[in-house]
Amino acid sequence: MAQGRETNATQARWRRPIGWALAAVLAYAMPAMARDFDVRHYMARIEPDLQTRSVKGEVSIRFAATVDSTDLIVLDRDGLDIDRVREGERSLSFDQTGRVLKVRLPRPALRGQLREISVSYHGTPRFGLQFHPDKRQVYTLFATTQWLVGVDAPDERASLDLSVVLPAGLKAVGNGYLVGRRSLGKGKELHRWRQTVPMPAYTYGFAAGPFEEASDRGSRVRLRYLGAGYSQNDLRKLFADTGDMLRYFERRAGVPYPGGVYTQALVARTIGQEHAGFALLSEEYGRGVLGDRRDESLIAHETAHQWWGNLVTCRDWTQFWLNEGFANFLAASYMEQRFGRDEYLKQVDGWRRRYERLKEAGKDKPLVFPDWDKPSGDDRAVVYQKGAYVLHLLREDLGEAAFWNGLREYTRAHRGASVTSQDFQRAMEQASGRDLSAFFANWVYPAAPAR
Ligand SMILES: [Zn+2]
């Protein structure tokens, strides 16, 4: 996702202070809890109500125990109210104290054995599902467990079959490919998507609205653009570099874009949010790009997340710089090849100045730091700006060949997996033939506690 107004000067006007949205998002940013099971697949049907800003849903969760035996399944439900939990036709007893759902299995799940429970629920999401009834738009932002009961941890990957009941006649996007769309009568339509490559739950989502739609071909990948209040020409114009971006990031990642279609939708209000296979940007931001092509680095940032963030994911939120510092840095490097070195250096200078301010204010931290439960704006700047700045320093230090080879090998080796900074360090050491422990100790890791 985008960070907010601090990213760089040219985009400042598109990025509102994040306030509750990102503060709440990062309130999730706790180290992942150890789990006794691994989710393999979600099959969900949800129905948002634009007028009441509420949602009801049912999700079947297929999982396997990762311990010899367990009879307790703990799921994240955020504020959702659980109506019923079943295994087959049998109702199970459950507890929904706090923000989790605890389900007692009548017979324990054994290691590796596939089991499936289904959960019915309803609720009024605080921000994970955004309702704009005036614009007939509804879309998801980051906090998946505000509309889908599941496991909200970046190291938990599963496939998804998502059906969403929407007002008839809207254009929509969801993860993976569209399985189908059919009328349910009474002004409702069911859209169904399937994400077959397992992905972390925070990349799940959809967006719907009375959008105009345009498409392009970016080599192998179909590019789809959605936005209300835009002509098809404008959509094609403002997203014109997307195919070039995909090809650039594929080259840097050494991994092809993982899917057949990449969709970008301009929605009522967002700071920018990546999902598996699509990105949401704001209508206002889109108009800015039409005014000045060089504002497109946020498009590049969200596109870069398809590799760094979605395909290679931080193992827990203390390693979040591996998503956001990387997306910032890779977007700037795209801007460099598109508009020239000065455009890149302008961004580097912005990161460096933000980092200097952090130091002066005594708010500097290593890129990996444990106290993620209440991140401040300065903490976000550590992850987004200092993170990108440190990648720039490493690039300068190692030189072009070693740096980009290392980044590519890191991405290839860990695609479809969750990573820590050690994984990145090892890849860069291998590519450069150098011991980088001093560099990483200086910039990345928290100091060992004093004895
Ligand atoms: Zn981001």
**DSSP labels, 209-266:** ES-EEEEEEETTEEEEEEETT--HHHHHHHTTTHHHHHHHHHHHHTS--SSSEEEEEE
CATH of residue 342? 1.10.390.10
Encode pLDDT of 50-69 as tens digits. 999 999 999 999 999 999 99
Distance 321 CA to ligand 1 centre (A): 10
- CA 304 – ligand 1 centroid, Å: 8
* E-only strand ranges, 379-446: 417-419
- Among 208, 241, 258, the domain-final residue is 208
Note whether 203 and 276 are within 8 A (CB): yes
Q: Taking residues 41-56, what's their average pLDDT?
A: 98
Confidence at residue 433, expressed as pLDDT on a 0 to 100 scale: 98
- Averaged pLDDT for residues 246-266: 96
Please name the helix (run of DSSP H) or strand (run of DSSP E) that holds residue 336, with its range, or none: helix 321-339
Q: How far, in Å, from the CA of 282 to the mean position of ligand 1?
A: 14
Q: 324 and 199 in one domain?
A: no
Domain that holds residue 348: 317-443
Q: Is residue 182 a part of any domain in this protein?
A: yes
Cα of 437 from ligand 1 centre, angstroms: 27
| Distance of CA 386 from the midpoint of ligand 1 (Å) | 14
Ligand 1 geometric centre to CA of 273 (Å): 7
The mean-pLDDT minimum among 23-27, 134-138, 372-376 falls in: 23-27
Burial 214-237 (b: 16+ CB within 10 A, else e): bbeebeebebbbbbbebeeebbbe
Per the CB < 8 A criterion, the answer to whether 321 and 351 are in contact is no
Give residue 327 CA to ligand 1 midpoint distance, Å.
Answer: 6
pLDDT at 19 over 90: no
Compute the distance from residue 4 Cα to the ligand 1 centre, in Å: 10
Over residues 108-112, mean pLDDT: 97
CA of residue 187 to ligand 1 center, whole Å: 36
Instruction: Quickly list DSSP for 46-90.
Output: EEEETTTTEEEEEEEEEEEESSSEEEEEEEE-TTPEEEEEEETTE
Give yes or no: residues 192 and 68 share one domain. Answer: yes
Are residues 188 and 57 part of one domain? Answer: yes
What CATH number does residue 69 fall under? 2.60.40.1730
Ligand 1 mean position, distance from CA 271 (Å): 9
The answer as to whether 306 is a domain residue is no
How many A from CA of 204 to the centre of ligand 1?
A: 15
Question: At residue 206, does pLDDT exceed 60?
Answer: yes
Q: Alpha-carbon distance 85 to 77, whole Å?
A: 13
Q: Which letter does DSSP use for residue 296 in this model?
A: G
Does a structural domain hold residue 84? yes
For residue 310, how far is its CA from the centre of ligand 1 (angstroms)?
A: 10
**pLDDT attached to residue 20:** 37
Q: Using a pLDDT cut of 90, give the percent of the chain over it.
A: 87
305 CA → ligand 1 middle, Å: 7
C-alpha closest to that of 330 among 420, 391, 265, 268: 391
What's the rounded mean pLDDT across residues 430-446?
A: 97
How far is the C-alpha of 45 from the C-alpha of 192, rounded, in Å?
9
Looking at this protein, which amino acid is placed at residue 104?
A: R
Q: Cα(194)–Cα(391) distance, rounded to whole angstroms?
A: 35
Q: How far is the CA of 111 from the centre of ligand 1 (A)?
A: 36
Q: How far is the CA of 427 from the centre of ligand 1 (A)?
A: 22
Distance from Cα 85 to the centre of ligand 1, integer Å: 35
How far does residue 433's CA lie from ligand 1's centre (Å)?
Answer: 30
Give 182 Cα–ligand 1 centroid separation in angstroms: 34
Q: Are residues 202 and 321 in the same domain?
A: no
Mean pLDDT for the stretch of residues 265-287: 96
Distance CA 196, CA 159 (A): 5
Q: What's the pLDDT tens digit per position in 322-366?
A: 999 999 999 999 999 999 999 999 999 999 999 999 999 999 999
Q: In the chain, count H helices and then E strands.
A: 12, 22
Question: Do residues 328 and 183 both lie within one domain?
Answer: no
Query: Would you say residue 135 lies in a domain?
Result: yes
Q: How high does pLDDT run on average in the chain?
A: 92
Q: Is residue 285 part of a domain?
A: no
Task: Based on the fold, state whether residues 203 and 332 are members of the same structural domain.
Answer: no
- At residue 217 the predicted structure's pLDDT band, cuts being 50, 70 and 90, is confident
Distance 417 CA to ligand 1 centre (A): 18
Q: For residue 111, give the DSSP letter.
A: B
Mean pLDDT, rounded, for 202-223: 94
Q: What is the pLDDT of residue 33?
A: 55
Burial class (CB in 10 A: 0-12, 13-18, 19+), 20: exposed
pLDDT of amino acid 45: 98
pLDDT at 4: 53
pLDDT score at 371: 73
Under the banding of pLDDT at 50, 70 and 90, the label for residue 426 is very high
Distance 258 CA to ligand 1 centre (A): 18
Q: For residue 450, name the pLDDT band (cuts at 50, 70, 90).
A: low
Predicted confidence (pLDDT) at residue 228 exceeds the cutoff of 70: yes
Span 304-309, average pLDDT: 98
Residues 57 and 189 both lie in one domain: yes
Query: How far apart are the CA of 303 and the centre of ligand 1, in A?
Result: 9
Sequence-distant (6+) residues with CB within 8 A of 316 are 30, 31, 32, 153, 154, 155
* Residue 28 or residue 249, greater confidence: 249
Terminal-to-terminal C-alpha distance of the chain = 38
**Total number of domains in the chain:** 2
Given a contact cutoff of 8 angstroms between Cβ atoms, the answer to whether 305 and 327 are in contact is: yes
Tell me the pLDDT tens digit for each residue of 65-95: 999 999 999 999 999 999 999 999 999 999 9
Residue 335, class by beta-carbon neighbours within 10 Å (0-12 exposed, 13-18 middle, 19+ buried)?
buried
- Condensed to tens digits (0 to 9), the pLDDT of residues 402-422 reads 999 999 999 999 999 999 999
**pLDDT tier at 36 (50, 70, 90 boundaries)?**
very high
Question: Which pLDDT does position 6 carry in this prediction?
Answer: 35
- From the CA of 248, how far away is ligand 1's center (Å)? 18
Query: What percent of the chain stands above pLDDT 70?
Result: 92
pLDDT of 142: 86
- The pLDDT-based confidence of 254 (bands split at 50, 70, 90) is very high
Q: How confident is the model at residue 449 (pLDDT cuts 50, 70, 90)?
A: low
Find the 115 Cα to ligand 1 centroid distance in Å: 34
Task: State the distance from the centre of ligand 1 to the C-alpha of 298, rounded, in angstroms.
Answer: 9
387 C-alpha to ligand 1 centroid (Å): 12
The residue-averaged pLDDT of 259-281 equals: 96
Of the candidates 231, 250, 162, which has an alpha carbon nearest to the alpha carbon of residue 201?
162
Q: Where is the domain boundary, 208, 229, 260?
A: 208
Q: Compute, in angstroms, the gap from residue 2 CA to the centroid of ligand 1.
A: 4
Residue 219 maps to a domain: no
> Which of 92-106, 241-255, 294-308, 362-376 is predicted with the least confidence, judged by mean pLDDT?
362-376
Asked if residue 14 belongs to a domain, the reply is no
Gap from CA of 320 to ligand 1 centroid (Å)? 10
What pLDDT sits at residue 12? 34
Which one of 178, 208, 238 terminates a domain?
Answer: 208
- One-letter identity of residue 240: A
Q: Is the pLDDT of residue 27 over 80?
A: no
CA 12 to ligand 1 centroid distance, Å = 15
Q: Is residue 186 part of a domain?
A: yes
Burial group, residue 360, by CB count within 10 angstroms (0-12, 13-18, 19+): exposed
| Cα 308 to middle of ligand 1, angstroms | 9
